[in-house]
A and B are shown apart, each in its own frame.
Chain A
C-alpha cells in the first residue's frame, strides 16, 4: 500500500491550457488546473459542461487538440490509456463498464493483470513462481474485498448484481490498480441516501487510509461541499471558478451557471 503525506509541494497532476474539440464544438477551452497530492478535488458543473471530457482527456481516451497534461511532472499527453493507467491513474466510469460475465473476484483480478510479470515458462509450470504470484495477487484483491465489504458477493457474476453494488465493484477495480490518483466519474449517481453515505465513506477511507488522491465528479452538492478540499467549476467547456467549497457557494458566476440569470 502506498501512503503519502499530504501537502507535498509539487502537484501530482497538472493540466495546462487543455482544449478539446469535436468538429466545430469546443468541448474544453484552455483548461488549466492542478491536483495536489493527497487531496480530494471535486469538479462540478451543469450537464455538458465538460466534466467527463476532462477525465477522458487525462486518462488518454480523448486526445486534446491543444495543451499538455503532466503526471508527477512527467508529460503524459497523448499516451494510450493502458500506459497512463500503469503510471498510476485509475478511473471509474459514469456508466459502469465491468466484465458482466465475470465474477466480482475475477473483475478485480483482471485489473491486477497490469501489475503481473508474465513469464511463459513459469506460468506453464504453475507451481512455484506463478502460484506464489497468484496467491500474492489474490491477497491484494481480498484486501480490497474486505475494504469495500464485498465478501458476500465475491463469487457472484457481475450481471446478477444490482446497480449500487456494481458501482462498488467498479470502485474496487480502480483500487486494484493501486493508483496514486483516482478519477471518479459520478460515483453516487442513481443511488439512494444510504448507498450514497456508504460510497462517501469508502471514498474518504480510500483517501485517508491509502493516501490516494481523488478527483471527483459529482452532482450531489451536499457530498461535494462535505468532503472536498477544493472545488473546480466547469461551464460550457470553460473553467469558471476554483476554490474552497465555501468560497464556491458564494461565487456569482457559479450561481449564475447553476441557477441562470436573475
Chain B
C-alpha cells in the first residue's frame, strides 16, 4: 500500500484512499433504494471506484482522456466521477435533461471517448446521436431496466465494466493506488460546460487543485464533522456538486442520495441534513409550497401563521439593522417557534439543518427574509464554474443584502465599470478549445465575472446584477432587470418573469409566466373555470391577481424604474426551446428576439397581440399555439392614458 502524506492530498481519489484507511467500515454514503436507506462504507466505495477505474483503464482510457457523464445524481455516477479521475481521466458532466443535440455538441466538443449514462432514457438519447459522435468508443449504463433487448456493440453495462476491472485488479494488485498516486493537483479534473445564456455552451477546464481549494473555502465558513449528514440534489453537471463532494472526501460527511427526484421532500424529512445546498429555483419552490400550505391551512393553523410570521419578520429586520430584540419580541418569537416555525421546518425536513445554502444564481432578498423569519438561516454562496467559491455567509455574520463575506484567499477587485474581477487558486484554467474567449475573460489573470457589484468595509460582497442586465431608461434611471425579476419570483403566483427596458423607453414592462400550480389552485378555490394554461393565463381574474403583485413589487422599487405594463404569457419559458438555460436562467437576448413583436406591441400601446408560437416537443415533433395575449397596465388609471405612463 502506498502511504500518502497530507501534503500530497491534492485530488479527491487520494482522499478516497486515505478515508478507506482511516474510516474503513464507517458509512461514506447512503442511498434510498426499495424504500430503505442503504449504507455504503468507505470500503464499499473504494471497491466500486477501484473496479470502475480499472474497467475503464482496460477499455483503453488514458490519462487526459475525457469521459462524458449523463444522468440523475446517483451513487453510480458519483463513483464513476472518482473512477475517471483516479485513472487520470477528465469528467465531462452533462445535465440529465439535455436534449440529444445538446448532448452531441458537448460530447463532440470535449472529445469524449466514453459516455457513462444512467438508464434507458439516456442510452436512447446517445444511440440517437451515435453517428454524430464518432470518437465515442463505449457507452456504459448503470440502470439495467428496460435494457434487455439492446444489443448494440457500443453498449456495456456498469456491472460488466466492474467485472472487467475486478479481473484486471486481481491480476495486478496495487495497480489502482498506483494510478491514484500518479495523479497531481494540477491535472485537469473536469470540464464543466457553462449554461451559456448568450451562446453555445463553453467548456470550463478545472483542475483538482481548483476544486479542492473551492471546497476548502466552503468548509471554512461551514465546517462539518465526520458522519454528519448532507443530502445531494445537485446534478453532477453543476459545479456546486464538485465542491459539495469535498464534504464527503475531505471531512467524511455522509452524502445521502434521494430515491427519486419526485421523492425529494420525503427524503429530506427522513434525513434532515446538516448542510443543504440547493438552487435558488428549489428555494423558490419550497417558499411557494410553504405559502400555499399556509393559505390552505385550517383556521387555527392559519391564524397562528398570520400572527407569528410578522414576529419572525420583525426579528429578522431587527437583526439586519444590528439592533437587539427586546425581551417581549424574543418571547413572542420563542412561542412562534414552538407553535409554527418548528413544525414548519420539520415538514420541510430542515429541523436539524445547520447550514441552508443557495448558490449558482441570484435569489432575491425577499426569500432570505422569509426563510430567516421561519428560523431557517439561509446563506448565500457566491461563485461560478470559472471563479470558484468567492464569498459565502458565515453563520455569525449574516447580511441578507450581500452575497456573503469574501472567503480567505480570494483575490478580488472591482473594475472601473463596477465589474467584479476574481483571481486566486480557485480560478479555472480557461475554456476548452476557445483561446479567443479565454483572452477576453481571463487574459490578464483576473477573471471577468460579468457581474456588477461592490464590497463594503466589513468584507461583504454585494451583487448588483449581471452587467448586461443593467439598463438605463430614457428618463435616466438605471434599472437592475435581474434584480426586479428576482423580486417578481417571490410572488407565489409568478413562476418567471422577464423585465424589459431600454434606452428609448421611459418605463419598464414585464413578460410573466404564471405559476400554473399555484394559480390553478387559487382558481379552483375562487371558482374561476379554466381549461388550459393559455386559457388560465388570460383570465381577467388572474390579470387582477398579478396586477396586485406587481403593484406590491413596484412599491419596493425607486420611482422611475417601476414596471408599467405587463403581459401574462400563454406558455412557460422552456429550456428545450432555448428560452432558458439548463440551470433555468433566462436567455435574455434570445427571448427578446423571440418576443420582439410582443415587445413592440407593448410599447406601441396596443391592447392585444395575437401570437402563434412554434413548440418543439422532446421527440422532435413541432406544433403551434395560437393565443390572443392581453397587454395590461399595472395601474388601471393608465389604461388607455398614454400621458400617465411615465409616472409609474
- Give residues in A with beta carbon < 8 Å to B: 138-139, 142-143, 145-147, 149, 151-152, 154-155, 201, 205, 208-209
Nearest CB in chain A to that of B34: its residue:
A142
The CB with the most chain A CB atoms within 10 A, among B34, B260, B262, B266, is that of B34
CB B317 to nearest CB in A, in angstroms, measures 38
Q: Is the CB of A152 within 8 A of B260?
A: yes
Nearest CB in chain B to that of A155: its residue:
B266
Q: Is the CB of B146 within 8 A of A139?
A: no
Q: Is the CB of A152 within 8 A of B263?
A: yes
A211 to B148 alpha-carbon distance, docked (Å):
12
Q: Is the CB of A208 within 8 A of B34?
A: no
Q: Is the CB of B34 within 8 A of A205?
A: no
Decide if B529 is an interface residue (CB 8 Å cutoff). Answer: no
Decide if B504 is an interface residue (CB 8 Å cutoff). Answer: no
Given contacts A139-B34, A146-B34, contact A151 B149 (CB under 8 A): no
CB A198 to nearest CB in B, in angstroms, measures 11
Nearest CB in chain A to that of B261: its residue:
A152
A147 to B119 alpha-carbon distance, docked (Å):
13
Chain B residue contacts of A201, Cβ below 8 A: 146
Chain A residue contacts of B266, Cβ below 8 A: 152, 155
Q: Is the CB of B146 within 8 A of A205?
A: yes
Chain B residue contacts of A205, Cβ below 8 A: 145-146
Given contacts A143-B34, A145-B35, A146-B34, contact A208 B149 (CB under 8 A): yes
Decide if B608 is an interface residue (CB 8 Å cutoff). Answer: no
Decide if B177 is an interface residue (CB 8 Å cutoff). Answer: no
Nearest CB in chain B to that of A202: its residue:
B146
Nearest CB in chain B to that of A143: its residue:
B34
How many contacts between A and B, using CB within 8 angstroms? 30
Decide if B97 is an interface residue (CB 8 Å cutoff). Answer: no
A208 to B150 alpha-carbon distance, docked (Å):
12
One of A138, A145, A147, A152 near B262 (C-beta < 8 A): A152
A147 to B148 alpha-carbon distance, docked (Å):
14
A30 to B262 alpha-carbon distance, docked (Å):
50
Nearest CB in chain A to that of B262: its residue:
A152
Interface residues of B in 190-204 (CB under 8 A from A): none
6 contacts between A and B (CB under 8 A): A142-B35, A143-B34, A151-B259, A151-B260, A201-B146, A205-B146
Chain A residue contacts of B263, Cβ below 8 A: 151-152
Contact with A along B129-153 (1 / 0, CB 8 A): 0000000000000000110110000
Nearest CB in chain A to that of B33: its residue:
A146
Q: Is the CB of B35 within 8 A of A154?
A: yes
Chain B residue contacts of A138, Cβ below 8 A: 35
Chain B residue contacts of A208, Cβ below 8 A: 148-149
The CB with the most chain B CB atoms within 10 A, among A139, A142, A152, is that of A152
Chain A residue contacts of B262, Cβ below 8 A: 151-152
A142 to B145 alpha-carbon distance, docked (Å):
15
In the A-B complex, list the 4 residue pairs whose CB atoms are closest, starting with the nearest: A152-B262, A142-B34, A152-B263, A151-B260
Contact with A along B145-173 (1 / 0, CB 8 A): 11011000000000000000000000000
A145 to B259 alpha-carbon distance, docked (Å):
12
A154 to B259 alpha-carbon distance, docked (Å):
12
Nearest CB in chain A to that of B146: its residue:
A205
